[in-house]
Structure 1
Amino acid sequence: MSRLNLLEETRFEKLPVKVFANQIEASQRVARRIADIIIKKQENSENAVLGLATGVTPINVYKELIRLHREEGLSFKNVVTFNLDEYFPMKPDAVQSYVTFMNENLFNHVDINKSNIHIPDGNLKQEFVQAFCYEYEQKINHFGGLDVQLLGIGRTGHIGFNEPGSAPNSGTRLVTLDDLTRRDASRDFGGKENVPNKAVTMGIGTIFKAKEIILMAWSEKKAAIIKKAVEGEISSDVPATYLQLSDRVEFILDTGSASELTRFNTPWLVKDCRWDEVLIKKAVVWLAQTLNKPILKLTEEDYNTHGMAQLATQQGPVYDININIFNGIQHTITGWPGGKPNADDSQRPERAEPAKKRSIVFSPHPDDDVISMGGTFIRLADQGHEVHVAYQTSGNTAVWDDDALRYVEFSIDLAKSEGRETSEQELFYKQMRSFFEAKLPNQADTQPIQTIKGLIRKGEAIAGARFAGLPDGNIHFQNLPFYDRLKAQKTVSYEDDIIQTMELLNSVKPQQVFAAGDFADPHGTHKVCFDIILQALTRLKTTESWVKDCWLWLYRGAWHEFEIHEIEMAVPLSPQEVERKRLAIFKHQSQKDIPVFPGDDAREFWVRAEQRTSETAKAYDGLGLANYEAIEAFKRWEF
């Protein structure tokens, strides 16, 4: 690509951006840049002064630096480090401490001089913090300033813990954390209420003094804030936008985090495009939604004034384009998610044959099935397909402690009412209460308590699946080992999870597999569970003939839906079916009202699900298609 073309394509971007295929490749490139700085400084008998970040984002950078140390002899003897921030108050040996994080992910694995490590002290008395912050700045200056500063970005747009409202010339100081930042950290602390309200952070002015600034972001979860930081106006509402003022900054992104930048999301606004079927559909839907017009009412003038003149010229007339896209979207709509028997399926999303299919719905948590595709789940059973459900994890983490106590109390009372001995149960009950009273934030439950919580969710899942119309023999609880392993280990093998999934698939031999397609969090349970399914199917494909006739459909959870242009099967629900779906969700009593991990959405799961499917139906209606009560959406995955 010529420099002129690149400038045209990136004209909405107000700072340098490099996009890599994945975070591993990007992290390795960043680690190489850091290694080059260290080596160059060594050759000049100088210290390399690194500004380091914590969190998920830089982990693979640190892994690569460790590899370079072990395999290529990269020494850290001349390295001096300053970390961006630390929670306050925070003991340095706490699991959530950034001291612990840095030791586990970098310092314990390289030959750095421990006296050269500097991390904000979260264990000071508050009256001493201001003096500490001044000394921190002076130490950075004493070593000649930062050669490079690594940054991540929070969903508030914070860099370090410089939350909205921070000044561009701010120095190291004590700050109050934004509520969204605390919600995002809640899983590490076992609930938002346990996340500290404050933190000590380098200021934006401190960051600006670095000779190089590298901001990294991975996954679609960061795409919206990256767009604001890169293309938005400079504002204290999004502190990362201040980086537009520096000529020493570069954003390093993967394709997910870059996906909402103009050149990737709406490329027709910045360059000539290769107009394939997928891009045409996306552009026409975007145009209709931007103008709030049905697809069939879009005009040539609409195309020409919104960056789509090339499409109109090459593929027009525009009415033909509109008709083609309208028909394609209309053909995604089906009341027969298992295929309509004895019907022409050439323009339907699913095959007509076999008329009765074997379908398996994989549910990462015990309620994802009914929350995300409950209407389709019920429809498949009603239409006579052999439907199975596989609950991949126990979901025991998401049960309140007092719910576990309540069930044990019930079992004791039941035993007493039948005249059975209860002394062992009562002893265990007392031990449970003692454990909960002394339980630390984010502390893993004992194995017996995990079992009880898992059984609570299992009972609810059985009730929900039965309500959907499944016989007990078609309800499978995998309880994949990785879920509990990850509570005690940072890295685990998924081999036994894959083998178990292969065995289940091979016993059912499905023509349809439904799996959760929420990939915004690459380390989340949904993504891990999907990767296990995909690996299982990929391996089986080499040995089992049934796999060639198996279609894999993705559904989304209660958080976000597929974009309209992505949807390949849309299952409309009547008001009565929406109510049946709601009742199936209600079977999951432990997740009603306020779940343990509600995320940043205060609505109950059933409310989220109904509003999400209602919004999808309204979007179809807005494009000029039929007006349904609700629509559940699916996308096919080729494997």
Structure 2
Amino acid sequence: MARLNLLEETRFEKLPVSVFENPTAASLSVAHRIGDLIKEKQKNNSKAVLGLATGATPIGVYAELVRMHKEEGLSFKNVITFNLDEYYPMQPDAAQSYVSFMNDHLFDHIDIEKENVNIPDGTLKLEDIPAFCLAYEKKITEVGGLDIQILGIGRTGHIGFNEPGSAPNSGTRLVTLDDLTRRDAARDFGGKTFVPTKAITMGIGTIFKAREIILMAWNQKKASIIKKAVEGEISSEVPATYLQLSDHVEFILDKDAASLLTRFDTPWLVKDCIWDEVLTRKAVIWLANTLSKPILKLTEDDYNNHGMAQLAVEQGPVYNINIHIFNKLQHTITGWPGGKPNADDSQRPERAEPANKRVIIFSPHPDDDVISMGGTFIRLVDQKHDVHVAYQTSGNTAVWDDDALRFVEFNIDFSEKMGMPQQGMKDIYQNIRSFIETKQPNQVDTPELQSVKGLIRKGEAIAGARFCGLDDDHIHFMALPFYESGKTKKNPVTERDIELTMELLQKVKPEQVFAAGDFEDPHGTHIVCFNIILSALQRLAKTESWVKDCWLWLYRGAWLEFDTFEIEMAVPLSPQEVEKKKFAIFKHQSQKDRAVFPGDDAREFWVRAEDRNRETAEAYDKLGLAEYEAMEAFVRYHF
């Protein structure tokens, strides 16, 4: 019976899928499967042939294999490897090369024979590539074929670098990279213009010959493409769907990557559910959106015809369910994000008391505060709360070199105008200019250039916070050490990052903390900054009584909004407030027009924020609630 239930739950899935709680658990599972294969081959005195992938996804697998080698004696003497792909052209010693990646994460730390390592050659002459690709395929065949091929998946649905349009029987070849793939790689190269336009990749036909294929995917960014690959129709537009044709494939996912699969996203379509408050809200909103109906117009037939008959039976009549969910959504809307004084707060998202709260808005970068919650920021100040803003990092990697030069030139001209000494600044200027003229893609800026870029962003942040109504003594620049390396790949978090955060929290003793909850930012800074705040609050909670009265609210903005069913506080904005928020964002001139790290959204940050806030308001309106110009959304985090 249990097997029948599982088949019903997964009936939309066209290939085997295993879901783990987190990437660490999933990576350990894959690493141990590889380790077991290597040991089994050793017993038989034969070679283990591995197809390997690069990118962030397999790093945990390689780390565990290295640990097994160092601590458990796992030998790789009998292992032959073939990597999926390599950029073209690409020098093997370049930081972005897959040769460097594999050496850094695996080969330099194990006892594999170097002659058993095979990676496509990014230094070949163009005319030599076809012969190389044929030889690559032949070598795989000569050593007995791939025992295991591990894969990641790109947001285009590519496996290896087999982009949309690839044929299911394709072999190793030179390909042109999709624009989205290049945008995703831009951070590693210091900008999309420096990302190669081509790559050498194993073909889908080559991958299919492996005796076992494991595709891994982590985090919410991959959820949409995973749903297409697992539940969609086979199509050259999503090359990973070809894996549905294999009898030897398994998808290994963390729960975030699996979150849009039917059994997790809309489980009422495939099984009986335990209808708690959150699932009920999600299902009713889904039903209303699916049928383009306001919540209060949903009928018994609507529930019965869309997999929600169990809910109607257990909690009906359905009109009572509709009213309950409608009221819950209504109660999330408030014009008083700090709580409404002298009001009944039993149905409000925030407490009425204390009437004037101490508030810290943590901003990972110097513009996240106004982009994500600028309207609420202004509202909190206007309603006389004691608001502080804390910029956790300098954001100094996200300023264009020519902007930095312009500011130093201004400084020199200003000094001359004021009759002040200029030689020292001129020397710094020449050093910076000489560096920029010979700067390589993704090269770390000099300390002087980092300082200039940091000061540019600091000045913009001060202007934005002042525009929102703050005095200078309520504006804090934390310069958390993990970020201040000047590199796109940041240093690990240290105790000092947490201590600095604890010191500020202890100084203010806030009743409200706002923190960035959009963890899909392309640079990964937001999740790091959030975890630092969380660690600081959890430590303080052990000794400080004020922490129990401190509520932590998460905001989102530039990258991804909360789903409607998740929202616990929605702050409506008038047309005038939308304009004022926009002007606060405009204070960040270095991020306007074209940002250094825009992600895969071509819109400017202020446009993204404006559109997203309007979309949130429209979502509420379509469900039958009041119509507002825009809304900023928040979710409370219980630590």
Q: Please report the TM-score for the alignment, with normalisation by the length of structure 2.
A: 0.99
Following superposition, the deviation at residue 488 of structure 1 comes to 8.2
Following superposition, the deviation at residue 557 of structure 1 comes to 2.2
Following superposition, the deviation at residue 426 of structure 1 comes to 1.2
C-alpha distance in 1, partners of 2:370/2:463? Answer: 11
Query: Corresponding residue for 1:44?
Result: 44
8 Å contact from structure 1 (residues 211, 248) kept in 2: yes
C-alpha distance in 1, partners of 2:419/2:581? Answer: 40
Question: Partner of 1:82: helix, strand, or coil?
Answer: strand
1:228 aligns with 2:197: no
Query: Corresponding residue for 1:554?
Result: 554
Give the AA of the match of 1:250: E
1:576-635 CA-partner distances (Å, limit 9, x unpaired): 100110110010011110111111111111111000000000000000000000000000
C-alpha distance in 2, partners of 1:3/1:451? Answer: 61
Give the AA of the match of 1:47: K
Query: Corresponding residue for 2:134?
Result: 134
C-alpha distance in 1, partners of 2:521/2:209? Answer: 32
C-alpha distance in 2, partners of 1:215/1:137? Answer: 21
Query: Corresponding residue for 1:406?
Result: 406
Give the AA of the match of 1:99: V
Following superposition, the deviation at residue 433 of structure 1 comes to 1.2
8 Å contact from structure 1 (residues 486, 492) kept in 2: no
The residue correspondences of 1:531-570 to structure 2 (distance < 5 A) are: 531-570=531-570
Query: Corresponding residue for 1:589?
Result: 589
Query: Corresponding residue for 2:318?
Result: 318
Give the AA of the match of 2:26: A
Q: Percent identity?
A: 75
- What stretches of structure 1 of length at least 5 have no aligned partner? none
Q: How many residues align?
A: 639
Following superposition, the deviation at residue 493 of structure 1 comes to 3.6
C-alpha distance in 2, partners of 1:520/1:410? Answer: 36
Query: Corresponding residue for 2:180?
Result: 180
The residue correspondences of 1:226-625 to structure 2 (distance < 5 A) are: 226-485=226-485, 487=487, 492-520=492-520, 524-625=524-625
Question: Partner of 1:259: helix, strand, or coil?
Answer: coil
8 Å contact from structure 2 (residues 522, 599) kept in 1: no
C-alpha distance in 1, partners of 2:397/2:107? Answer: 31
Following superposition, the deviation at residue 487 of structure 1 comes to 2.2
Structure 2 CA distance for partners of 1:23 and 1:521, relative to 1, 3 Å: farther
Question: Partner of 2:635: helix, strand, or coil?
Answer: strand
C-alpha distance in 2, partners of 1:534/1:447? Answer: 30
8 Å contact from structure 2 (residues 483, 490) kept in 1: no
Between 567-576 and 553-562, the greater mean CA deviation after superposition: 553-562
C-alpha distance in 2, partners of 1:490/1:431? Answer: 25
Following superposition, the deviation at residue 521 of structure 1 comes to 5.8
Question: Partner of 1:150: helix, strand, or coil?
Answer: strand
Following superposition, the deviation at residue 434 of structure 1 comes to 1.1
1:390-435 CA-partner distances (Å, limit 9, x unpaired): 0000000110000000000000001111112212211221111111
1:78 aligns with 2:99: no
C-alpha distance in 1, partners of 2:301/2:36? Answer: 53
Following superposition, the deviation at residue 541 of structure 1 comes to 0.3
1:87-139 CA-partner distances (Å, limit 9, x unpaired): 00000000000000000000000000001000000011111011000000011
Structure 2 CA distance for partners of 1:142 and 1:486, relative to 1, 3 Å: farther
8 Å contact from structure 1 (residues 170, 204) kept in 2: yes
Question: Partner of 2:50: helix, strand, or coil?
Answer: strand
Query: Corresponding residue for 1:216?
Result: 216
Question: Partner of 2:601: helix, strand, or coil?
Answer: coil
Query: Corresponding residue for 2:119?
Result: 119
C-alpha distance in 2, partners of 1:609/1:599? Answer: 14
8 Å contact from structure 2 (residues 450, 486) kept in 1: no
C-alpha distance in 1, partners of 2:194/2:179? Answer: 12
Question: Partner of 1:636: helix, strand, or coil?
Answer: strand
8 Å contact from structure 1 (residues 485, 492) kept in 2: no
C-alpha distance in 2, partners of 1:349/1:337? Answer: 8
Question: Partner of 1:484: helix, strand, or coil?
Answer: coil
Following superposition, the deviation at residue 559 of structure 1 comes to 1.7
C-alpha distance in 2, partners of 1:558/1:590? Answer: 16
Structure 2 CA distance for partners of 1:81 and 1:104, relative to 1, 3 Å: same
C-alpha distance in 1, partners of 2:154/2:612? Answer: 25
Give the AA of the match of 1:363: S
Give the AA of the match of 2:370: V
Give the AA of the match of 1:12: F
C-alpha distance in 2, partners of 1:358/1:431? Answer: 45
8 Å contact from structure 1 (residues 153, 240) kept in 2: yes
Give the AA of the match of 1:10: T
Following superposition, the deviation at residue 484 of structure 1 comes to 2.6
8 Å contact from structure 2 (residues 428, 448) kept in 1: no
